[in-house]
Amino acid sequence: MEMIKALLRPIARPLRQRYAYSKLPAACRAEIRHDRSAGLGSDPGLDVAVKEAVAWLLRAQDCSASHDGGIAHSYSLVDGWGTSYPETTGYSIPTLLEYARLTSDNGIRDRVRRMLDWLVSIQFESGAFQGGRLGRKPKVPVLFVTGQILLGLADAVKEFGDPYREPMRRTAQWLKEIQDPDGCWRQGRSPFAMAGEMTYETHVAWALLEAARIVPEAGFGEAGLANIHWALQHQHENGWFANCCLDDPLHPYTHTIGYALRGVVEGYRFSQDPRLLAAARKAADPLMKAMHDDGFLAGRLGNDWSEAASWSCLTGTVQIAACWFILYQITGEARYRDAGRRANRYVRRTVRLDVDQAMRGAIKGSFPVDGGFHSLQYPNWAAKFFIDSNLMEKASLESER
């Protein structure tokens, strides 16, 4: 019987896949067919792509199923708009404020105030924030989420002043208090992600560094750097970050690799410690080698930087591109700039402007859209990181004129 099952399995698998595909909504099947047949489109251009992505992110605020001022988790081709997502609403705030400054758009500033006031309204007394999207259970304080919201609160203090100073201080203080002496965070783990110590939490450390720029005497900078130095104890000689994934430590998403790398890069910008710059380059350089000439970067990578997926995690691609642009600013080495531009262009070529407003200007979780990272979804943080990286590219172009 087992031999018969083994012989039938290769036949049954595609039949099950075709059956599942037939049950998807028509618009969903159409987008899968488009990506699989048409492939990459033309580049809409940097300015158009950023403008459209910002417009989509603001629509995600308007269309959130919870209607509370936060940004919808995502638009799903199967289920439509989701409820607001505190974590990514938080770190979208610096992105939107930067765009508002560049364009003198006070309407965006007003929208950001709505996001901030909603976040403050759901903050725990401890200063922490809940994990998951709004309404998800259990409702418990989560370390990583809290760190990402701290990025938004810190920028809010710079932009709007005192109304957000105390919420920011309480958030940073909670992160500092639950940190272990070796710099690792073992408390406040998310019930929605794999258990264990994680090196991608250097992205939380970065948030503490931003808080330290506002409140330098509170020890937040020391706490952030302690975590980055802890994480680097888990960096392999080839630059690889161990324990750096949400669900598969052997083949992490480029999304979480991007988190880890950005934290180290920001650690260098804060401390000017040459060891941190060396560690960042040790990871950034093999990532450049892993990218194809057209900008494709596999959505999962193995610990020798080899491809472990046939699809791209677009979020991770633009996160890593942003790190390359920062390294270009630091080192002046054109290879980082050129890699960032190539990666950005790949993702821009996945953006569609000829579709419904729910998808126009949005960034897919994966390309093709049915790949393994937030399959059949347009996550809000994909648009956030896309805007960040493309604004960095624009700055690099303007600096050369």
Sign of the dihedral defined by the CA atoms of residues 272, 278, 281, 283, in that order: negative
Beta strands in 195-266 (DSSP E): none
> Across residues 287-308, what is the average pLDDT?
98
Q: Which domains does the chain have, with CATH numbers?
A: 45-399 (1.50.10.10)
Beta strands in 10-136 (DSSP E): 74-76, 80-81
Task: Give pLDDT, residue 2.
Answer: 57
Which of 261, 262, 242, 239 minimizes the C-alpha distance to 252? 242
> Across residues 104-122, what is the average pLDDT?
98
Task: For residues 129 and 343, give the distance between their C-alpha atoms in angstroms, rounded to a whole number.
Answer: 33
Mean pLDDT, the chain, rounded, equals 94
Question: Which is higher by pLDDT, 192 or 181?
Answer: 181
Task: Give pLDDT, residue 195.
Answer: 79
Task: Give pLDDT, residue 3.
Answer: 54
> Across residues 68-78, what is the average pLDDT?
97
State the pLDDT confidence band at 246, using cuts at 50, 70 and 90.
confident
* Other CB atoms within 10 A of residue 357 CB: 12
Statement: residue 135 has pLDDT above 80: no
Statement: residue 9 has pLDDT above 80: no
Which of 393, 401, 399, 398 minimizes the C-alpha distance to 43? 393
Question: In terms of residues, how long is the chain?
Answer: 401
Q: Among residues of the chain, what percentage have pLDDT more than 70? A: 95
> Across residues 314-326, what is the average pLDDT?
98
> Phi and psi (nearest 5°) for 358?
-65, -20
Statement: residue 14 has pLDDT above 70: no
Task: For residues 236 and 304, give the distance between their C-alpha atoms in angstroms, rounded to a whole number.
Answer: 10
Statement: residue 133 has pLDDT above 90: no
- pTM of the shown model: 0.94
- The string of pLDDT tens digits covering residues 329-360 is 999 999 999 999 999 999 999 999 999 999 99
Q: Among residues of the chain, what percentage have pLDDT more than 90? A: 88
Residue 275: alpha-carbon gap to chain centroid = 25
Task: For residues 232 and 185, give the distance between their C-alpha atoms in angstroms, rounded to a whole number.
Answer: 14
Task: For residues 221 and 215, give the distance between their C-alpha atoms in angstroms, rounded to a whole number.
Answer: 9
Task: For residues 315 and 86, give the distance between their C-alpha atoms in angstroms, rounded to a whole number.
Answer: 18
Task: Give pLDDT, residue 85.
Answer: 97
CB 321 within 8 A of CB 388: no
Statement: residue 238 has pLDDT above 70: yes
